[in-house]
Amino acid sequence: MGFIKRNREVILVAALLVLPLGVYFAHARHPSERSRLDRMVLALTAPMEKGVSRAVGAILNVWNGYIALHHAHERARELERQVSVLKLKEMEFQRVKEENDRLHELLAFAQATPDWRVVGARVIGVRLDPKGLQVITIDRGSEAGIVRMMPVMVGGGVVGRVHAVASSTADVLVLTDRNSSIAVRVERSRARANVRGTGSPESCRLEYALRSDDIAEGDVLVTSGTDGVFPRGLLVGKVTGLKRSGQGLYQRADVAPAANVTKLEEVLVLFPSEERPPAKAAGEAPQAAESTAGGKP
Amino acid sequence: MRAVVAFVFALVLASVQAALLRYLGGGAVPVAMVLPIVVYLALHAGNLDGAVGAASVGYVVDLMAGEPKGLMMFLAVALFLCSRLAASGLSVQGAVGFVLLSGVGTFLYGLAALLLTRAVSPAESAPTFSLLGRMFTEAWFTGMLSPLIFAAMRWLDGLMAREDPSLLR
């Protein structure tokens, strides 16, 4: 007892070091879901992320719409000021047009996949951690009917799949995460392979492509639908650096993802048609495109 | 009490970081704003208080981006101990020392995470050493931002240490 009392601090610090390591190795063999405590703590962060996101957006709006204009007023003559105002308006129109184009693109995608329903969501957080998971946080969660493993898209291509869900937010594991593996097909030759993330947001790699398969640089990769997560035919990326060695079963290549995960603003979460997303609460502002694709009721 | 403050501050900082990175390159610029909290604890907290604080910060990092669970918590306590050893051995003082310790600590933290993840991951999903460049960038930006975290932690410490005026009467 005397020994424990004397070395209480050392024992407790050692326990703090050893216990998490034990948990890590245990979870490495048997991955588990987040605990209730984890979910509760994460739920606390969602309002903060939303709040900061809104505050920064508001500051940027004020900056673009007022302070920058004020500086122009001090510097320029009346005519120049009017030009500045018009330019700002043009930029605003351009921004609205670009947003409109993006939403049109999402809508076009939604209408082209009649077997899937889609829910639009805005990106409110980004964690592309080089030493951990590469996730983005979206502002829709289980209240919108989102569950784990649902595919997430933008008009340009596959973004990833839902990794964890809280009531009003969800984490999406992006396709560039090293734990992400998507079954794909080369659109030109129909050869099959997998696209796996590398942990770097701008590249993935092609795996399990047989050496005898017809694959060339620039080939477009689409989902094959065989992984049970993504519907077939969604754009994933392009083959860039093809390496075909003289031996071995497989050829290897780099893949440039079609969706740029560092520039996401709105995304679509895909629901299989039998899983209907719940209706939104009355009075809630629409976040992005929400569609019953293919004109189905 | 210090551990609770570290936990709450780490939670706030991680949320703010996730929201802000959306506007700063959409995540292309990696930064680990919570790790300087662990370095601060190593320099200014007691053994037990600091280790518990470091573990709570590690828990937050685990929640945000750790899988499998436990790795970031272990590494945070290890970073706490290493920073404490380095600080006593090299007599780290002032803002420059804190920046260096935070930067180097963040890089070693990332490197250890990479090696331990490689140890348990299947070969096809194991992280590769091509991420070292990104980790170096993360360490650089974290070091540059660490004086802000230092100032915030010192302010929080000041709030906790402030005497209750009623005791003076």
pLDDT tens-place string over residues B48-78: 888 999 999 999 888 887 677 888 899 999 9
Closest-CA distance of chain A to residue B104, Å: 15
d(CA B68, CA A181): 17
pLDDT tens-place string over residues A113-164: 667 788 889 899 888 888 788 999 999 998 888 999 999 988 778 999 999 8
Q: Under a CB-based contact definition with an 8 Å cutoff, are residues A101 and A289 in contact?
A: no
Q: How far is CA A92 from the centre of its chain?
A: 26
The DSSP annotation for A107-133 comes to HHHHHH-TTEEEEEEEEEEEEE-TTS-
Interface test with B, best of A18, A24, A205 (most B CBs within 10 A): A24
Taking CB atoms and an 8 Å limit, are B27 and A130 in contact across chains?
Answer: no
Which pLDDT score, from 0 to 100, does residue A71 have?
63
> CA angle B130-A160-B136, nearest 5°?
25
Mean pLDDT of A263-275: 81
Q: Which residues of chain A have a CB within 8 Å of the CB of B20? A: 52, 56
Alpha helices, DSSP H only, in B45-93? Answer: 47-65, 71-90
Alpha helices, DSSP H only, in chain A? Answer: 2-6, 8-29, 36-62, 68-75, 78-112
Which pLDDT score, from 0 to 100, does residue A285 have?
37
Q: Which residue has the higher pLDDT, B109 or A35?
A: B109
The pair of structure tokens assigned to B150 is: 């230092």
Q: Is A126 left (phi over 0), alpha (psi -120 to 50) or beta?
A: beta
pLDDT category, A289, cuts 50, 70, 90? very low
A187, A243, A252, A190: which is closest to A220 by C-alpha?
A: A187
Q: Under a CB-based contact definition with an 8 Å cutoff, are residues A218 and A238 in contact?
A: yes
B63, B129, B31: which is closest to A178 by C-alpha?
A: B129
d(CA B85, CA B73): 19
Q: Which residues of chain B have a CB within 8 Å of the CB of A9? A: 47-48
User: What is the DSSP code (8-state) at residue A167?
Assistant: S
Taking CB atoms and an 8 Å limit, are A52 and B16 in contact across chains?
Answer: yes
User: Maximum Cα–Cα distance for chain A, whole Å?
Assistant: 86
Q: Is A99 left (phi over 0), alpha (psi -120 to 50) or beta?
A: alpha
Q: Does B69 touch chain A (CB under 8 A)?
A: yes
Q: Under a CB-based contact definition with an 8 Å cutoff, are residues A140 and A247 in contact?
A: no
pLDDT tens-place string over residues A177-210: 988 999 999 988 889 999 999 888 888 999 898 8
- Which residues have C-beta within 8 Å of that of residue A275, sequence separation ≥ 6? A117, A145, A147
Q: Does domain A181-259 have CATH number 2.40.10.350?
A: yes
Which pLDDT score, from 0 to 100, does residue A99 have?
79
Closest-CA distance of chain B to residue A16, Å: 7
Q: Which residues of chain B have a CB within 8 Å of the CB of A25? A: 70, 120
Look at the block and give the residue holding tokens 């945070």.
Answer: B76
Which pLDDT score, from 0 to 100, does residue B24 have?
76
* Whether pLDDT at B105 is above 90: yes
The pLDDT > 70 percentage for chain A reads 84
Closest-CA distance of chain B to residue A61, Å: 13
Q: Does B105 touch chain A (CB under 8 A)?
A: no
Mean pLDDT of A279-283: 42
Mean pLDDT of B28-56: 88
Residue A236 parent element (H or E):
strand A235-243
Which pLDDT score, from 0 to 100, does residue A239 have?
93
Which pLDDT score, from 0 to 100, does residue A150 have?
92
The pair of structure tokens assigned to A156 is: 């340009």
The mean predicted confidence, pLDDT, of chain B is 85
* Whether pLDDT at A276 is above 60: no
Out of A11-15, A206-210, A282-286, pick the least confident: A282-286
Interface test with A, best of B24, B59, B69, B79 (most A CBs within 10 A): B69
3-state secondary structure of A186: strand
Q: How far is CA B40 from the centre of its chain?
A: 9
pLDDT tens-place string over residues A208-260: 988 888 888 899 999 988 888 888 888 999 999 888 777 778 888 999 999 98
Q: Which residues of chain B have a CB within 8 Å of the CB of A17? A: 74, 77-78, 81
Q: Under a CB-based contact definition with an 8 Å cutoff, are residues A175 and A257 in contact?
A: yes
Closest-CA distance of chain A to residue B169, Å: 36
Written out in words, the top-level CATH class of the domain with range B2-157 is mainly alpha
* Whether pLDDT at A286 is above 50: no
